[in-house]
Amino acid sequence: EDYQLGEFPDFMRKEMAEQPEAVRRALRGRLDSRFATAHLGGLRLDPRDLRAVRRVKFLGCGTAYYAGQIGANLVEELARIPADAEPASEFRYRNPVVDPDTLYVAISQSGETLDTLAAVQELKRKGGKVIGAVNVVGSAVARECGSGVFLHAGPEVSVASTKAFTNMAVSFAMLALWLGRVRDLSAAHGTRLVSALQQLPDQIASILETDYEVAAVARKYAHASHMFFIGRVRGWPVAREGAQKLKEISYVHAEAYQAAELKHGPLALIDAQMPSVVVVPRDELLAKNIGTIEQIKARGGPVIAVTNADLPDGLADAVLRVPRNEPELDPVLLTIPLQMLAYHVASALGRDIDKPRNLAKSVTVE
């Protein structure tokens, strides 16, 4: 392995820092400004095949599954094709209905996760059309799928996935754009998305520059035993991934919840010892998310908002800001401060960041 730590204290930090470059690599040669679309050559599907797709299902484990949820939202938004994500492990055990008009996307950084590989094999046995979204070229999932999109994130060593997650989301934005543009996504909308994608690397770099502020927030809340991560719609997979990052590397119990579901149970847990990280994209649900923060505050819960919106002064106890882009890409940017937050909570608690207890980088056994 010639992938070295260099100036960095651990691989997670290095891999977070590499995200602007990783996204640049994922985009390179794939955006088409002239036709306002993206091309993913490895898919080996022509527009006729693309138009035949009636449903898209994303399958993956852990972080890859949450990235799949972002993918499903993007496909529904941009291509108006019904889409969802499911843990690959559940899929393979539940005798799934495999539909010939569905495009299945098997997502895996390593390409070696046994549950994901087994889901692909099950799909192939039942005649499903499955493509890979894989980082490691030549890996088992990539070989088994035979076609797909490589993530081009570069080597990822830290157990907690960061740049691979980001490149999964970016790749799914390109897939959704492509699927959209052979349907009824307008050229104007496609053009906006192409230039929005091109802005991502610099925007991610600017979020990484807020490290000092995120670290201060992390230190303030690192003593908490539990944290909620709250989001709705575009913010929901972001909240899930944020909770995953925090629990895996800091061992702080983190639970993600859909904002509107809080009132059906979890609100009972809110008190001064239970901080909530609320994901607040500047979209048509902004007022709803502000209402969610007010509900939590009214019960004495501290709130950390992750947002690209201008929130009323004093609404949240801490605000982690990201730049604005096209709203469809908000999840990509809103996830970055949550990686940083988890990182700094874990480091304040003195955890072994790259090798959390009981976890493996890729799980190749049952």
Considering the complex, what minimum distance in angstroms separates the CB of residue 161 from ligand G6P? 4
Q: Is 109 in the site for ligand G6P (CB under 6 A)?
A: yes
β-pairing, 148-150 with 129-134? parallel
Count of residues touching ligand G6P (by CB under 6 A): 16
β-pairing, 276-280 with 226-231? parallel
Considering the complex, what minimum distance in angstroms separates the CB of residue 361 from ligand G6P? 6
> CB-wise, 35 or 93, nearer to ligand G6P?
93
Query: How far is Cα 244 from Cα 194, in angstroms, rounded to an integer?
Result: 30
> CB-wise, 69 or 108, nearer to ligand G6P?
108
> CB-wise, 106 or 279, nearer to ligand G6P?
106
Residues from 335 through 364 that contact ligand G6P (CB under 6 A): 359, 361-363
> CB-wise, 339 or 347, nearer to ligand G6P?
339
Given candidates 40, 64, 133, 176, which one binds ligand G6P under the rule CB under 6 A?
Answer: 64
Which of the stretches 58-66, 79-87, 229-237, 271-279 binds ligand G6P when contact is defined by CB under 6 A? 58-66
Query: How far is Cα 364 from Cα 366, in angstroms, rounded to an integer?
Result: 7
Query: How far is Cα 37 from Cα 64, in angstroms, rounded to an integer?
Result: 24
Considering the complex, what minimum distance in angstroms separates the CB of residue 34 from ligand G6P? 34
> CB-wise, 217 or 256, nearer to ligand G6P?
256
Which of the stretches 57-65, 270-278, 285-293, 341-349 binds ligand G6P when contact is defined by CB under 6 A? 57-65
Q: Is 71 in the site for ligand G6P (CB under 6 A)?
A: no
> Is 361 tagged catalytic?
yes
Given candidates 42, 62, 148, 242, which one binds ligand G6P under the rule CB under 6 A?
Answer: 62
**Amino acid in position 65:** Y
Given candidates 63, 167, 250, 308, which one binds ligand G6P under the rule CB under 6 A?
Answer: 63
Which of the stretches 29-37, 41-49, 158-166, 265-273 binds ligand G6P when contact is defined by CB under 6 A? 158-166
Catalytic residue chosen out of the listed positions 57, 163, 247, 361: 361
Q: Is 108 in the site for ligand G6P (CB under 6 A)?
A: yes
Q: Is 142 in the site for ligand G6P (CB under 6 A)?
A: no
> CB-wise, 60 or 180, nearer to ligand G6P?
60
Give the long-range contacts of residues 263-272, CB within 8 A, separation 24 or more.
263/295, 266/228, 267/295, 267/296, 267/299, 269/226, 269/228, 270/228, 270/296, 270/299, 270/300, 270/301, 271/299, 271/300, 271/301, 272/300, 272/301, 272/302
Question: By the 8 A CB rule, do 72 and 85 touch?
Answer: yes
Q: Is 159 in the site for ligand G6P (CB under 6 A)?
A: yes
Which of the stretches 42-50, 62-70, 94-102, 261-269 binds ligand G6P when contact is defined by CB under 6 A? 62-70
Which of the stretches 14-22, 56-64, 92-100, 230-238 binds ligand G6P when contact is defined by CB under 6 A? 56-64
Considering the complex, what minimum distance in angstroms separates the CB of residue 2 from ligand G6P? 21
Active site residues: 361
* Footprint of ligand G6P (CB under 6 A): 61-64, 108-110, 113, 116, 159-161, 359, 361-363
